[in-house]
Amino acid sequence: MTEKHSIHIDSDPFIKKVKSRFSSPKLFKKLKESFKPAAVIVPLVKRNGEWFLLFTKRTNKVAHHKGEFSFPGGIIEPTDRNAEETALREMEEEVGIPKNGVKIIGALEPVITAVSFYIVYPFIGAIATETEYKINQDEIDRILEVPLDFLLNTKDVRTEVLEYKGMKFKVYFYNYKGDIIWGATGRILRQFLENIGE
């Protein structure tokens, strides 16, 4: 990321708000060995003065969560120094946004996926607006950018409580022009919106 872009991001009032809400260190709970660690980025991008959240629609070629919307990310590899590095690496592999095109500005509490049993560590990242996407077509079908204002104000959110192998999960379903965001991604999204919405 260029110095000019870093200064622009740091001085943006919304970015300052995000940093203030999500700057506290996250205390990750001790997890069962059966959970597989993964990390994602909750990507923020500004278009013509308006903030959007970026989601990816997974292809039917991937092993888990086929056809679902997710945040860019993946499993933590032994060669990754930490979860943040995993999220940045996966973002570059999936949508072609280089590590220097993303500025990490916060972190959310980890969530567990209901069926695949991943423990997902979410990081909030601001993307350079000049960055071009280069989709990995084996993993990503398409990119969806949703206006943050829509997500903060929509009434079209359905909730369900699902149970899987004795574990109960509150699931949120966000409908944006017929595209449904739900599952662990929906819970990460809910956490972000509840903390930033005032």
State which amino acid sits at residue 129. Answer: T
Q: How far is CA 181 from CA 23, 24, 57, 151, 169, in A?
A: 26, 27, 9, 11, 15
Q: How confident is the model at residue 1 (pLDDT cuts 50, 70, 90)?
A: very low
Residue 69 CB coordination number (10 Å): 23
Rounded mean pLDDT, 108-127 = 88
In this prediction, residue 164 carries a pLDDT of: 75
Residue 58 near residue 66 (C-beta atoms within 8 A) = yes
DSSP 64: S
Q: Where are the domains of the chain?
A: 3-153
Collapsing DSSP to helix, strand or coil, 36 comes out as: strand
pTM for this prediction: 0.88
Q: Dump pLDDT digits (tens) for 18-60.
A: 998 987 555 455 455 567 899 999 999 999 889 999 999 988 7
Could you tell me which of 122, 123, 113 has the C-alpha nearest to residue 34? 113
Question: 3-153, which class in CATH?
Answer: alpha beta
